[in-house]
Amino acid sequence: MSANGTFIDGAERDAIMHHCPESRVFAPKGALGEGVGASILWEVIAAAEAIRSGHLPQSAQPLERDGGVAKVPPREQRPLQRAIVSGCGMNQQVAGLSLKAARLQTT
């Protein structure tokens, strides 16, 4: 799950805790900076790369119900196969994208 790192994080946290409480969350804005209109593209690229490599940055961790972050040791992290990217624009337009690793068929 890729949170957008802005004021909408409270709503995103509630949605994450309701629909996928075991997911690990990462907000790439802190690492990549503000790209204004391109921010969501950077988040999609980060999510796609995480799926491709099968790993998230060490800072990607599950959320806790009290608002904190649970620490999961790297050896206990599962390979990443799906990602959700969410974004909220300056006029509160909201968009989401679900990414999933492709299964390659061998002949």
Predicted local distance difference test score (pLDDT) of residue 85: 85
Predicted local distance difference test score (pLDDT) of residue 2: 53
- Which pTM does this prediction carry? 0.66
Predicted local distance difference test score (pLDDT) of residue 75: 53
- Dump strand ranges (E) for the chain: 24-25, 61-62, 82-88, 94-100
Predicted local distance difference test score (pLDDT) of residue 94: 76
CA 38 to chain centre: 16
The domain limits of the chain are 9-100
Provide the β-strand partners of residue 2: 26, 85
Predicted local distance difference test score (pLDDT) of residue 66: 65
pLDDT mean for each 10 residues of the chain (107 residues): 61 82 78 71 86 76 64 60 78 80 73
